[in-house]
A and B are shown apart, each in its own frame.
Chain A
Amino acid sequence: QVQLRESGPGLLKPSQTLSLTCSVSGGSISGGGYHFGWIRQHPGKGLEWIANIYYTGSTYYNPSLKSRVTISLDTSKKQFSLKLTSVTAADTAVYYCARVYWGLYFDYWGQGTLVTVSS
């Protein structure tokens, strides 16, 4: 059974950099067919896609966040990561990591981690 688990600080101050890691177990992180991504959900709001990375290392970003976001992949550790710079209160959200099945849909999700930005 594939499992994803997010980890990282839950509280940040404005202007800091958000760094989250997603650990993948029970399945491959390299090889064809899958890519991995981050999605966030502001409190009481809808889902917002942030970024995806293919096993080849190709990356894709939400245009509205692209200038502040970096997604990376460490196949040796079976992890992928998200960095979001210059955070503000507007970045307070639950952040999910997820796997994409053959470019069709997000099939496995982490449980989500709440990141709060507050001074």
Chain B
Amino acid sequence: QSALTQPPSVSGSPGQSVTISCTGTSSDVGSYSRVSWYQQTPGTAPRVMIYEVTKRPSGVPDRFSGSKSGNTASLTISGLQTEDEADYYCSLYTSSSTWVFGGGTKLTVL
């Protein structure tokens, strides 16, 4: 299984919006909705921010939203805050009951 493709880094200023992409293929991201997104700050375990492409677990601010178009899923953070600076990973639960992660994107809040 191949890792999902994410940009290594993105940046934005407080208050702005940023979007992180997660590209797979028509056989994985393009076919299934079990895409989730995780936020990880240094020295801590990942935290789920989005699941099933668009759903937010309880406690996640509504500034975080997810979407999918074709073979690419996206995480958008609106109203960027300094505490959003972190690494973000997409993940997919595949039809083979395995999981695959994206390579991760470092978000810098300028």
Contact = CB atoms under 8 A, between A and B. Distances in A.
A106 B89 contact: no
Interface string A17-41: 0000000000000000000010100
B101 A104 contact: no
B101 A49 contact: yes
B99 A52 contact: yes
A31 to B, nearest CB: 19
- Name, among A37, A45, A96, A109, the residue most crowded by chain B CB atoms within 10 Å (CB to CB): A109
A39 B28 CA distance: 20
Interface residues on B, range: 20 to 34
B8 to A, nearest CB: 10
11 contacts: A39-B101, A47-B38, A47-B40, A49-B100, A62-B98, A96-B45, A96-B46, A105-B51, A106-B91, A109-B45, A112-B45
A43 interface: no
Contact of B99 (A37, A45, A46, A109): A37
B30 interface: no
A52 B45 contact: no
Interface string B90-110: 010100111111111000000
B100 A104 contact: no
Interface of B: 1, 3, 34, 36, 38, 40, 44-48, 51-52, 57, 89, 91, 93, 96-104
Interface of A: 37, 39, 45-49, 52, 60-63, 96, 98, 103-107, 109-112
A107 B98 contact: no
A103 B34 contact: yes
Given A46-B103, A63-B1, A104-B52, A109 B97 contact: no
Given A47-B101, A47-B104, A106 B46 contact: yes
Contacts of B44: 111
Contact of B98 (A39, A60, A106, A112): A60
Contacts of A52: 97-99
A46 B102 contact: yes
A37 to B, nearest CB: 7
